[in-house]
Structure 1
Amino acid sequence: MSHPTRSPSRCSRSPPRCRSSYGACGPSRCSRSSSSRPARRWPPVWARPSSSPSPTPCTWSRRHAAALLGDPPLLVLDEPVNGLDTEGIRRLRELLRSMAAEGRTVLISSHLMTETALVADHLVVISRGRLLADTGTADFIERHGRSYVRVRTPEPVALGRELERHDATVTRVAGGGLDVVGIPAADIGRSAAAGGFPLDELSTHTGSLEEAYLGVIGAEGSDTRV
């Protein structure tokens, strides 16, 4: 006897969900194939973001795996960490660095400067068809970033005048601190010791890739890629 309000289609259970190291994905996004639907075609050897608004972590893990099929000597990734959780980002970073250490070429296009600085050894900055930079990551940050030495002392005014006599650029900061440009930390320490200035802090701060990048593209518009 049929049920007055339920039909077999309403009572049928959905296929089980699959899980990967990056999380869970629904049955329509699972990489398994069945006789009821055609086999899924793999994407090309490079990995690009999906045109869908929010690809799932399972989708991203499949795309990365597909890009690695055939053990390619050249790997091109566009925004590779989008959609990954913290563990997935770290695993992907370690994988890409290990591949580069083996002699492979890994090209990454990304707007995430912090993550790029952790994985990239060499940067290429292109804006509107023009090459703005083609250099090592450390050299790019050193040239275009803001590096300074943070000094804290009970006598900031007197020490600042002393350092300015050595051609340093000194900027006062809150809490009795000084940001010093033009003199390395070792020379600042020796000058403070010679003048009898006590130091509460003496630390070198290197500019970030984000600051250096924004400085380079400041006059180039907002469509620059790195």
Structure 2
Amino acid sequence: MDTRIYLRASTSEQDATRAENELRKFADERGLKIVGTYTENQSGAKFARPELFRLLRDSNAGDVMLIEQVDRLSRLATEDWGKLKTEIDRRRVRVVSLDLPTSHQAIAADEFTSRMYSALNAMMLDVLAAVAAKDYTDRRRRQAQGIEKAKQAGRYTGRPEDKKRNEAILKMLTAGQSWSNIIAATGCSRSTLSRLVRRQKGTLVK
């Protein structure tokens, strides 16, 4: 049984590796052999996450995916969570989350007890994934309401510019880097890159 750590943060400005030491300590205390760490900066509400699916492809039946919290794995809507869970089940990967104690107990259990815990964990994962998805939706709604209120009051100025990142992007553009390479390296959106290209050409002043 091999163990693979999955680490995720929503944006490139956040530290996706923040919980790695805690997860490694957890694995060491239980004699779990870590064979890989998979890290990405992607929204948990996004189904297409390259590192998550690379972890699943690399795993064998009975291997463990170790995560800090269920919301690191999913903030997905119900349909997409169902597809991800089906893929996890198909590959027979066991999800162990620090915030789900019953998943810890299933690690060294006998076959009968392990199957019992697996059934319980499947139910708990569904509940926690649904809670995470609702929390994400609620926060987005509150953010939108706050922005709309600020706009009506004339106080909304938009998201602060990441000047350090944008300066690096402009240097990459000057050096002739392709859009695909720049997006992969910086995590910026195509709309941001397009705006910076226009600025570089002098058609946008800011």
TM-score clears 0.5: no
**Category of TM-score, reference length = shorter chain:** under 0.3
TM-score (norm 1): 0.26
Higher helix share: 2
Query: What TM-score does the superposition give when structure 2 sets the normalisation length?
Result: 0.28
Of Structure 1 and Structure 2, the greater strand share is in 1
Q: Which has the larger radius of gyration?
A: 1
